[in-house]
Amino acid sequence: MSRVVIVSNRVAVPKGAATAGGLAVALLGAMREAGGLWFGWGGETHPADTPQPPPDPQLRDGHTFVTISIPAALHEPYYDGFANGTLWPLFHYFVDNFRYQDEHYDAYLAVNALFARELSPLLAPDDLIWVHDYHLIPLAARLRAQGVRTPIGFFLHIPFPTFEVLRALPVHREILDALLAYDLLGFQTETDRQAFLGAARAVYGADRVSAGTVVRTAERLVRTGVYPVGVDLEATARSAAKTVASGHVRDMTKGLVGRRLIIGVDRLDYSKGLLERFDAYQQFLEECPQHRGKVTYLQIAPLGRQNVKAYARMRRALEQSAGSTNGRFAEVDWTPIRYLNRSFSHATLLGFLRLAQVCLVTPLRDGMNLVAKEFIAAQDPANPGVLVLSDRAGAANEMTDALIVNPYDRRGIARALKQALDMPLDERRARHAKLLAALRENDIHAWRSRFVANLGGAPEQARLEYAAR
């Protein structure tokens, strides 16, 4: 069996008995099945005028984790600049937030070239290389230039935009060329895959794209696939049931004073629809006075990417919105919104999700959204809560028994909140059972095993699919 080599911007090195998040658990599982190596940035930078430090290998439970340092002068334009200031907003359809600078793109290429130089000596001829996310799109091309011929797959965790949006990027052709250096391209939804194939047709011509899933280049046939990321349902349920008795969750239970809990858990990001969600909650309080004083909305939004100005502006706007709602509706013993810009352990978050009667997941655009899936897995099947889910999250394709909403429609979200809180137990149980059944079909183990299996057979399968077009 071939070794699986995982490459990502950051490496999730296991630390003692700490529990990793869902994706890290899945990738660690791929390494356990076939042996493996996880390669990426370790969080350190070094002065550009000093030699590149050697890779730092660490052995954990028989698996190898290798981290590298990035030159300090490259990290900001690579990460905050091109990856999160250019690709992230564009791929999420936020063209107004999109900025492009040649210097940022040059740094992006330089960091990918560094990854390739440091990784290629560690590879064996029969390895399967699995590259993750938009930070490392050019990596396969750089590895090919280093002489690597083993199968290389790429999985995009965020959406892929339509060509009319993608073409705003001055180097969109170069990005597409880089993607076609992979043997297998994985997307979260069929919409994302079709957006990529549409871009390939527009740039290279329809004759280069099969009627099914394959794009032809001079060097290879590139197979595409849809692999919706899932969660470990059993592990999530166990952790949530255990953590609900922990200190943080007990304190939250006491603080609710018998009120029902509406929860949102999102990284602070303009793609998550938080401002629209806060407005919708205010609309709910306006239209449903019978629920005032009887529910509490907890929004957990850990800070991230604060070097990007758009995030700092959004944080201020959210604080003002929460303050406005609380100032208008709060009572001596009731705060309508609890808005926390802090991180909790993954286990604690699962405990909060189990405690909640309603989960608001209303991104303006999202590749998948695992919080939606974790909420369903964390709930008590005997008395489950209700998921309110954006139709622009990838998860909505599978989770059709959630209350699906337009994230821009604050009145629609307000009505969904009322419907969720008023929903009878029998309907909640029926919806929850159907959602669990849907999630079992694409749980985290199925996602991992399908991608790895398809990567191993990608070149031959691509030839068969292209010949059958």
Which residues sit opposite 387 in a β-bridge?
359
Angle between helices 370-378 and 425-441 (to 10 degrees): 120
Is 279 annotated in the active site? no
What is the pLDDT, as a whole number, of residue 30?
66
Residue 89 CA, chain-centre distance (Å), reads 14
What is the pLDDT, as a whole number, of residue 29?
66
Given the residues 104, 135, 157, 346, the one annotated as active site: 157
Distances from the Cα of 365 to the Cα of 41, 94, 284, angstroms: 27, 9, 23
Summarised one tens digit per residue, pLDDT across range 52-77 is 999 999 988 778 999 999 999 999 99
Distances from the Cα of 179 to the Cα of 107, 108, 241, angstroms: 18, 15, 42
Report residue 34's pLDDT band, with 50, 70 and 90 as the boundaries.
Answer: low
4-230+445-467 and 236-441 agree in CATH topology: yes
Summarised one tens digit per residue, pLDDT across range 86-128 is 999 999 999 999 999 999 999 999 999 999 999 999 999 999 9
Any idea where the domains of the chain sit in the sequence? 4-230+445-467, 236-441
What is the pLDDT, as a whole number, of residue 204?
96
> Among 36-40, 136-140, 369-373, 464-468, which is the least confidently predicted range?
464-468
> Among 61-65, 193-197, 414-418, 440-444, which is the least confidently predicted range?
61-65
Whole-angstrom distance, CA of residue 108 vs CA of residue 112: 6
CATH tag, 4-230+445-467? 3.40.50.2000
What is the pLDDT, as a whole number, of residue 38?
94
* Paired sense of beta strands 214-216 and 221-226, if any: antiparallel
Per the model's pLDDT, the better-predicted residue between 419 and 31 turns out to be: 419
- Tell me: pLDDT of 17 over 50: no
- C-beta atoms surrounding 314 within 10 Å: 18
CATH tag, 236-441? 3.40.50.2000
Report residue 1's pLDDT band, with 50, 70 and 90 as the boundaries.
Answer: low
Whole-angstrom distance, CA of residue 416 vs CA of residue 29: 37
Is 157 annotated in the active site? yes
Given the residues 366, 401, 432, 443, the one annotated as active site: 366
Whole-angstrom distance, CA of residue 274 vs CA of residue 270: 7
Residues 6+ apart with CB under 8 A from 387: 358, 359, 361, 372, 375, 376, 399, 402, 403, 435
Q: What is the DSSP string of 155-214?
A: E--S----HHHHTTSTTHHHHHHHHTTSSEEEESSHHHHHHHHHHHHHHH-GGGB-SSSE
Tell me if residue 146 falls in helix, strand or coil.
coil
Residues 6+ apart with CB under 8 A from 162: 195, 198, 199
- Tell me: pLDDT of 428 over 90: yes
Summarised one tens digit per residue, pLDDT across range 245-293 is 888 898 888 889 999 999 999 999 999 999 999 999 999 999 999 999 9
446 and 230 in contact (C-beta within 8 Å)?
A: yes
Enter the pTM of the model: 0.94
